[in-house]
Structure 1
Amino acid sequence: MATENGYYGDYGGMFIPEILVPAFEEIKEQFQAIQQDDSFWQQYCTLLAGYSGRPTPLTYADRLTEYFGRAQIYIKREDLNHTGAHKLNNALGQALLAKKMGKTRVIAETGAGQHGVATATAAAKLGLSATIYMGREDMERQYANVFWMKRLGAEVVAVDYGSQTLKDAINETLRDWVSSFETTHYILGTASGAHPFPAIVSYFQSVIGIEAREQILRAADRLPARVYACVGGGSNALGVFQAFYTDEDVTLIGVEAGGQGKESGRHASRIAYGEGKPGVAQGYKTLFLQNNDGQMNDTFSIAAGLDYVGVSPILADLAQRGRVQFSAATDTEVIEALKIVMKTEGLIPALESTHAFAGAFQDIAESSKTDIIMINMSGRGDKDIFNIAEGLNDEEWKAFIHRKNRQFETQSR
């Protein structure tokens, strides 16, 4: 639980320009109101069930379990949520909140594009206009999602400065909000940013853990020994973890983006590699990858959604208190894990989600056949086909792209 001023231990808070104070005060007031309003939660859950397809199943991965010959592996299937990831849980909730506040427009940042697609989808469903900010680098990596955002009616704005990734998209979205908050709500996609956004995102993502806890007890009549989730900002991890906070026998593991490894300096691991330093940016205090002068470092990951310089203040506090453990998976480990999951289970997890699998595979030799582990598959990998093909060095895919390029050039003449 956050303190009155939005701190989780040493992290959190609300460091915002004075002009945004009225917007944040309105959001805090309305968020407190909906938390006490059972009818709002019922409206939210009804929309999730009838539109998004919840509850998502918990799948027993029998062939993956057999492959390792160790712990019994269960997979929480957020890939089956509408739009292919957990992001819609939060986007729909905040879009409902926006309408309750009388807003007519929503804005959002996006890295992998999944939150952008979810925001565009929620806006279309609920009759709101939408503008999505996305770093140019991420647009190139995730153009399929850019295409869908535009088709859903959203304006997609490229951010061409800095590292052209998620942190820059957040900065640009905040600039927009400064001049538009009277009509606009900022649907922040991850459990970061100034108070009360970490609490809001965690609240709407809590459906993941509520379902998963009930499902594993129904399937196995006991709780898992370990729960794994990838961590960029932290929304899917907090979504599944919070249902198990008070279960001391359940170990919670967040898996960060190890990129090309710790020594390379090309990664996005704030906690596992021990390189995150306390700092204040983008409205809140947390662990950021920064140099000795406090300037934010560039980050790197094969997964655009994990390519972020900070981490949720809630997770920073949970790590400091030892309730959540952290590991990192390199790009190479992620590609190898993806191969295994695809061939044993017929699943194609997003590259972000595959970090959770890779983290679980790092530890699985320590488990026994009586153990249960749960992996939160936060999204599906359709969006990653270009990156996955490149990571696999697939020659047939390269030939296909060259053929399509030649066809396009011929048609354009």
Structure 2
Amino acid sequence: MRNVSPWREPVPPDGTMGEPRARGRFGQYGGRYTPESLAQACREVDEAFRRAWADPGFRGALARLLAVHAGRPTPLTPAHRLSEALGVRLYLKREDLTHTGSHKINNVLGQALLATRMGRRRLIAETGAGQHGVATATAAALLGLEATVFMGERDIERQALNVFRMRMLGAEVVPVTAGSRTLKDATSEAMRHWVGATGDSHYCVGSVVGPDPYPWMVRELQRVIGEEARGQCAAELRTGVPDHVVACVGGGSNAAGTFAGFADTTARLVGVEAQGGAGASRGRPGVMHGCRSLFLQDDDGQITPAHSAAAGLDYPGVGPEHAHLRDLGRARYVTVTDEEAIAAAVRLARTEGIVPALESAHALAWVIRAAGDGDLPAGSTVLMTLSGRGDKDLSTLKELL
């Protein structure tokens, strides 16, 4: 059975996806649930980011790096052949064309600049699919910082190319052998490591998860996706705003950044999760990794493992702002299977000449399914964020096809 959250009319503009309430709250979610040693470090990050984000010099330096190093703005690509077959007008926001091959570089360049501003000389990061780890290693090399990346042993095996890239860039990759040996456990180990290294290290969280201010900060650093896309849609579409805005969701940073550009419009926002993850679709309120959000749990409240062929979606929860958007009815969250995502990746490759990351293929799989069953009416305009390229997944696809 497919898991979906309610499909409601978009709420009117009300400041949704603005600054969180006091103590980093998005409705009942968010907050800062950490030991005191990390609470102080989070307060320092919060204060430093607020000062930096209000500083035109910092914003200008980040904009220059995003332009000359990351390759922004990324194009909006009409998927002509696939659109004709589906009976909708599908546009792809091409984050796969950034340097390092995914949206992760937007966030990491901002946090790396913040780290240097704070006098930190090392970046700590977690990674699942490896793209955040590669982006962290890239930013560290660019700015003369050290980088230590925690990665689950299972993900190291299936993302060997990205592991090599991180090491090529000079990063230390630390295998995590605890638990399911995937993204959840890598995040836990990175946070534990940060406890003893707050004096000289910045924890570069890769998604809109974790203790305040990270969910808000990462969303603001990824907002560039949605703001660019909104301007591009205004120039491309007769209505100026697409009918639907779709993105894959693990922790949810590419979706949050995309949605932020359209939250005050009539566009329907759709987050697509892996059926084996689905924190927003079937999670329950709980606390993990420093914040309150929706997580997969058993009857005793213990976190249950997630599973996805896409390592970046192999996370048993969702960022707190996504949980809040679900409760508001402003965004809908749906799931697709591994098989649907793999078929979607193949279809995009053969119709548009683009091999997507398996994470992004989940979003496309929903578009294909929804166009077929009438959930997307004929003639609808759909903006989909293609969050990453599929090079990293070719060995997985080769095994599964």
**Could you tell me the TM-score, scaled by structure 2's length?**
0.93
Tell me what 2:385 maps to. Answer: 376
**Letter in structure 2 aligned against 1:353:** S
The number of equivalent residue pairs is 380
Percent identity for Structure 1 against Structure 2: 49
Out of 328, 332, 338, the position equivalent to 1:321 is 328
Instruction: Give the structure 1 partner of residue 203 of structure 2.
Output: 186
Instruction: Name the Cα RMSD after superposition.
Output: 0.9
1:31 and 2:49 matched: yes
2:396 counterpart of 1:387: yes
Asked if residue 270 in structure 1 is aligned to residue 279 in structure 2, the reply is yes
Match of 1:411 in 2: none
SS of 2:220's equivalent? Answer: helix
Counterpart selection for 1:340 from 347, 351, 358: 347
Question: Which amino acid is 1:212 matched to?
Answer: A
Counterpart Cα distance in 1 of 2:40 and 2:28: 25
Deviations 1:353-380 (A, max 9, x none): 0001001112113245542101100000
What residue in structure 2 maps to residue 53 of structure 1?
71
Deviation at 1:384, TM superposition (A): 0.4
Instruction: Report the Cα distance in structure 2 between the residues aligned to 1:203 and 1:271, rounded to whole angstroms.
Output: 21
Distance in 1 (CA, whole Å) between partners of 2:400 and 2:226 is 31
Instruction: State the AA in 2 paired with 1:196.
Output: P
Pairs within 5 Å for 1:219-368 = 219-221=236-238, 222-247=240-265, 249-258=266-275, 267-272=276-281, 274=282, 276-365=283-372, 366=374, 367-368=376-377
| Counterparts of residues 141-220 of structure 1 (less than 5 Å) | 141-220=158-237
Report if the CA contact (8 A) 2:280-2:317 is conserved: no
User: Is contact 2:280-2:322 (8 Å) kept?
Assistant: no
* Unaligned stretches of 5+ residues in structure 2: 1-18
2:14 is matched with: none
> What code does the residue aligned with 1:93 have?
G
Match of 1:88?
105
- Give the structure 2 partner of residue 138 of structure 1: 155
Question: 2:287, 2:319 → 1: CA distance?
Answer: 12
Matched, 1:40 2:47: no
Opposite residue 42 of structure 1, the aligned amino acid is G
Aligned AA (1:339): V
Higher relative contact order (CA 8 A, sep 6+): 2
Give the residue type in structure 2 aligned to 1:95: A
Aligned equivalents of 2:237, 2:43: Cα separation in 1: 44
**In structure 1, distance between residues paired with 2:274 and 2:107:** 23
Cα separation, 1, equivalents of 2:384 and 2:264: 19
Aligned partners of 1:319 and 1:21: how far apart in 2?
Answer: 28
Take 1:220 and 1:251, find their aligned partners in 2: how far apart are those partners?
A: 16
Does residue 9 (structure 1) correspond to residue 27 (structure 2)? The answer is: yes
Structure 1: 5+ residue stretches without partners: 259-266, 393-413
- Secondary structure in structure 1 of the residue aligned to 2:207: coil
Kept in 1: contact 2:371–2:378 (CA 8 A): no
1:34 deviates by: 1.5
Give 1:178 deviation, angstroms: 0.5
Partners of 1:45 and 1:137 lie apart in 2 by 36
Residue identity opposite 1:388 in structure 2: L
- Cα distance change of structure 1 residues 303 and 49 upon mapping to structure 2, 3 Å threshold: same
Residue 225 of structure 1 and its aligned partner are, at CA, apart by: 0.2
**Partner Cα separation in structure 1 for residue 23 and residue 383 of structure 2:** 34
**1:305 corresponds to which letter in structure 2?**
G
Match of 1:52, SS?
coil
Matches within 5 A, 1:59-74: 59-68=77-86, 70-74=87-91
Alpha-carbon distance in structure 2 between the residues aligned to 1:304 and 1:382: 13
- In the alignment, the residues of structure 1 paired with residue 114 and residue 103 of structure 2 have an alpha-carbon distance, to the nearest angstrom, of 18
1:229-276 Cα offsets, whole Å, 9 max, x none, are 0000010000101111110x2000000001xxxxxxxx111232x2x1
- The corresponding residue for 2:115 is 98
The structure with the larger Rg is 1
